[in-house]
Structure 1
Amino acid sequence: MNSLIVKPLNRPYDYRVLIEAFIYTRRNFVHEDFTNYYTGLLRALEEMFEVRLNREYLSFDQKVLWMLFESTLRSLLQISSPWEGYIDDTLLHTKLQARGEQGQEVYRANAAIAEAREASESSHRLMLYALFIAIFGDRPRVVTSDELVLMGFDDSREPDMTNYYDDL
């Protein structure tokens, strides 16, 4: 499982949210509902933005940049944290707190890692957005939920992780 938080996508949808939907289709989720939802959303948004986020549909020049887009995406999905994978970290926190200053040093280091991780994720996204425009051109369109419904995609059914804790 990769480190990115599962949070609802912003609405209305601009090209950045199209990219976020694409990122979500590359994640390993705890339940297929997430994969199915984000794949459906991506397909609908691709149609609305008149793009296909797939190497197969690109010209040679676009394919060259697409390679960097794909490797940037892979790099983003690999960003991790030492705390990743813990379903319940209560005992770990108890033991660290019992260690006094050594435990506090762990928390300080973790704060630095979290800050660097956020900066890295943000920079990866900025690079993806810039590459998207370099590949597909500026896409100022904004898609609303109502437009998606007219296309047959209901974005009100976005899965919420809190409903899937039993699947963890």
Structure 2
Amino acid sequence: MTTYDRRAFVEAYLDAHPKSQRGHYASNAHSAALREHQLRVLGGLQELFGVVLDSGSVPQEHVGLFVLFRGTASSLLAITSPGEGAAEAGLLYRQLAAAGVDEQVHAGLARIIECNEQSRAAHLDVMETLLAVLLGDRADATFTSADLAAIGVDDTAGPNPADYDLWEDY
């Protein structure tokens, strides 16, 4: 059973964000089903926490904070790793070695990955802090999968990748 605190609420928001690729594969059908599931979970959490995370629903006194929350989410989701999506890593490694730059490039990539992880953590910290303000007296609330189920949301019913042709788009 999953427990949902403020950090998990932020993660659910990020999962359901239109620019998120978290958990998505090549299959359009799988991605559509996953997005639908992520939106259901986010909707359930918004109901339980008592706040809808969109600019039309946030109280006027918090609109600026929500703009920063939303911008921070977009910034976090834009963080990528060099070489992400490279289909043939072996070829890349061979070419780096042949050029005699493999050690330098690997060291640089390791630094980039470390900085990206630090940046992701900082983004999440900012979003969690802003969400605490948006939640007000519910900032320390926690809910469970059972609480979601009680309002008709099954957080375990995401699509199974095995049920899809994940390479249908290729």
Same fold (TM over 0.5): yes
C-alpha separation between the residues in 2 aligned to 1:148 and 1:160? 20
Query: 1:125, CA displacement in angstroms?
Result: 0.5
Equivalent residues of 2:3, 2:143 under 8 A apart: yes
> What 5-or-longer segments of structure 1 have no aligned partner?
1-9
TM-score (norm 1): 0.83
Query: 1:98, CA displacement in angstroms?
Result: 4.0
State the partner residue of 1:76: 76
Alignment of 1:13-162 (within 5 A): 13-26=4-17, 27-28=20-21, 29-30=24-25, 31-100=31-100, 102-137=101-136, 138-159=138-159
Report the residue type matching 1:166 in the other structure.
W
Deviations for 1:86-123, whole angstroms, at most 9, x for unmatched residues?
234221123224444x1111100000000000000100
RMSD: 2.2
C-alpha separation between the residues in 2 aligned to 1:87 and 1:150? 43
**Greater relative contact order, per chain length (Cα 8 Å cut-off, separation 6+):** 2
Matched residue of 2:4: which SS? coil
Deviations for 1:6-38, whole angstroms, at most 9, x for unmatched residues?
xxxx92111211111111111144411221111
Matched residue of 1:58: which SS? coil
TM-score (norm 2): 0.82
Matched residue of 1:57: which SS? coil
Cα distance change, pair 83–162 in 1 and its aligned pair in 2 (3 A): farther
Report how many aligned residue pairs link the two structures: 158
Report the residue type matching 2:8 in the other structure.
V
Cα distance change, pair 149–72 in 1 and its aligned pair in 2 (3 A): same
